[in-house]
Chains A and B, each alone.
Chain A
Amino acid sequence: MSINRKELEEIAALAQLNIPEKQVSHITESLNQVMDMIELINDANTSEVKPMSHPNDAWQLVRQDEVTDTSHKTELLALAAHADEDHYLVPKVIE
């Protein structure tokens, strides 16, 4: 399994990253080396095996429906690069 330039562009778009033109072949090569390493996983016989998503063999604990938090408006907007006193601002989106 290897990744070609077109796939790299598609994935980069999904991940919202720019791969500069001069980096493309180096990144592709690098990624393909990793993919060769990853390919080894195909050697495994996992036909009867259940996937393991967590080491904990436990059920989710739940929270009661209570309001435990208060407004953080000023703090939060202060963290943003671009905000007015009420909203985060981004370049205009047309839907």
Chain B
Amino acid sequence: MSQNIISSDWEMVIGLEIHVRLNTKSKLFSGMKASYGASPNSQVSFLDAGLPGTLPVINYKAIEYALRFGLSVDAEIPTVTIFARKNYFYPDLPKGYQISQMDDPIVGKGKIVIKTDEGEKTVDITRAHLEEDAGKSIHDKYDQYSAIDLNRAGTPLIEVVSEPQMSSAKEAVAYMRAIYTRVTHLGICDGNLQEGSFRCDANVSIRPKGQTELGTRAEIKNLNSFRFIEKAINHEAKRQVKILESGGRIVQETRLYDADKDQTRSMRSKENANDYRYFPDPDQLPIQITEAMIDAQRAHLPEFPEAKIKRYVETLGLKVDDAEIIANDLSLSKFFERSMEQSKAAADLNAKFLLGEFNALLNVHGKAIADSQISADDYAGLLDELHAATVSRKVAKQILDDMWESGDQAKAIIEQQGLGQISDSSALTVLIDELIANHPEQVASYRGGNEKMFNFFVGQIMKQTKGQANPVQTKQLLEDKLNNE
């Protein structure tokens, strides 16, 4: 596919730097709250504001989360990790330096498997390190001024750096998704893209096909949507090819993606020309990482989607497609598994109903499963009614809608509305006998070979019972009667 974006004379080389905001209660180095959306500058400690004399003290949870991430990507974990200062001036950087990591990152080389059009591919992770986030600049509040909000300054990030091994925008997106799934499943990141909990910088370069040496790269910053990153990378690749084909040179620079115009443009900030003068932060001591710490984090590793899919297919008997959809959505898998615990229904039935009727209901209301008005337990109650054949699937759908609107449970709704399926064969037999007696032409037509006429009889019974006749029973009895007399 990628060959369609640029000509096959060239190949794309993409590396990604992903910033994952950790969902700790407090910031990386201060005991100030770290939540999104607070009133400007109301979550800023004296340290976050860079006041003189203030000092950083590391939040242990951030270390735990970083180790957890490292384990989840089979990474090398060092025995010592050290924080370093990255020095530059910018209004959203209160100390005039960012506390990050230089030579001794908390997570070393790792890897992750991504799914591409050509199958699975392993992407190597160069390293991952902890660092503090900067504040926010708002440029549209005033004409003459930029307004600075430091709430975000000091919140903990893990920066994950990949090797430049992706060769198409699609692969880049697949990698981004893989890391996204990983960190949300680990519970270390809330995964909220709109709030900037997961942001990506893409390093894109072009080289003649077959060349091993890398071309000059441009960095596209702050992409926080899967859709945009694909467009941005493709646009950038085309831009670079155009330059190179016309004999120009690529400038190593930072660019921003403009989603409205679907183009990247050069950032004019001074960050481009900086010597960051990294050195170990003298306000902190080296951090020891022990086997015990690593083991404690290993115990926190959840079952990842790959393992979940396997389990759903092999143990629960789900179809692979259904298993993949459920396993890759953390909230959905939690909902599914909870309802499985609480219901006697078969997993396959549950999955089909969940992905079918329930999903349709969610779409109608524009909600995600995490915001479902129906709890997993109540949903399990409905499944049980289906399992016991108290209601047909069609009726179950109506009950589901009712449950959403009313908040009532399935059993109550069935009783209130008298929706229980008629499975009593003697009652059904009476109706069927009457039907056959009243429609001799249709009976003759069916017995004469018109098989489609069978549906007429089923339909009639359903109509008479307002859909509550047990369909399996009805069909069975009709077959007996129609075929055997």
Contact = CB atoms under 8 A, between A and B. Distances in A.
Q: Do A's and B's CB atoms come within 8 Å in the complex?
A: yes
Interface of A: 14, 16, 53-54, 56, 58-69, 71-73, 76-77, 79, 82, 84, 86-95
Contacts of A84: 147
B484 interface: no
B60 interface: yes
A58 to B, nearest CB: 6
B196 interface: no
B256 A95 contact: yes
B144 A88 contact: no
B36 to A, nearest CB: 15
A87 B143 CA distance: 14
Contacts of A65: 24-26, 59-62
Contacts, number: 128
12 contacts: A53-B282, A59-B287, A60-B58, A62-B59, A62-B63, A63-B31, A69-B33, A73-B40, A73-B41, A88-B41, A92-B146, A95-B137
A62 B58 contact: yes
Contacts of A53: 280, 282
Interface stretch (B43-51, B209-217, B392-400, B404-412): B43-51
A67 B154 CA distance: 13
Contacts of B148: 87-90
Interface of B: 24-26, 30-33, 39-46, 49, 51, 57-63, 87, 89, 91, 137-139, 141-150, 256, 267-269, 274-275, 277, 280, 282, 284-288
A86 B288 contact: no
Given A66-B25, A69-B31, A87-B138, A92 B59 contact: no
Contacts of A71: 42-44
B406 to A, nearest CB: 39
Contact of B144 (A58, A59, A87, A92): A92
Contacts of A56: 285
A16 B25 contact: no
Given A88-B91, A90-B91, A95-B256, A63 B145 contact: no
A59 B287 CA distance: 6
A87 B149 contact: yes
Given A93-B139, A93-B146, A63 B60 contact: yes
A61 B63 CA distance: 12
Contacts of B87: 14
A59 B41 CA distance: 33
A69 B44 CA distance: 9
A16 to B, nearest CB: 5
Nearest to B284: A60
A14 B277 contact: yes
A90 to B, nearest CB: 5
Contacts of B58: 60, 62-63
A76 B268 contact: no
Contacts of A63: 31, 57-60
Contacts of A73: 39-42, 44
A91 B91 CA distance: 10
Chain B CB count within 10 A is highest, among A61, A72, A94, for: A72
A67 B287 contact: no
Nearest to B31: A68
A95 B144 CA distance: 14
A89 B41 contact: no
A14 B86 CA distance: 12
Contacts of B32: 67, 69
B170 to A, nearest CB: 28
A91 B137 CA distance: 11
